[in-house]
Amino acid sequence: MMKKSTNQNAFKIICDIIGHKYVVSKQVTSHVKEYTCKCCKKQLTTNSNGDLTELTPTFKEINSILEDIYTRRMVRIK
């Protein structure tokens, strides 16, 4: 029962109780950011409604496209 290899699960339980400690891990556009929990490494992102949602592989792909468009537009303004 008391295994040290279950640290990640322990962190998840702590997060479930006291809440995640999200930090911005990536600024995709001025509105869209990616967040990572410092504790359990869970990742979130801003969706098209401006709400936070779990960063799934699909959202990662959307974000990389958004970032590409956003970066190109910023270059064009300069």
Site residues, Zn ion (CB under 5 A): 15, 20, 37, 39-40, 42
Q: Residue 20 or 66: which CB sits closer to Zn ion?
A: 20
The contacts of residue 56 (CB under 8 Å, 6+ apart) are none
Q: Residue 29 or 43: which CB sits closer to Zn ion?
A: 43
Q: How far is the CB of 37 from Zn ion (least distance, A)?
A: 3
Q: Residue 37 or 66: which CB sits closer to Zn ion?
A: 37
> What is the biggest distance separating any 2 CA atoms in the chain, rounded to whole angstroms?
59
Q: Which ranges in the chain belong to alpha helices (H)?
A: 7-18, 57-77
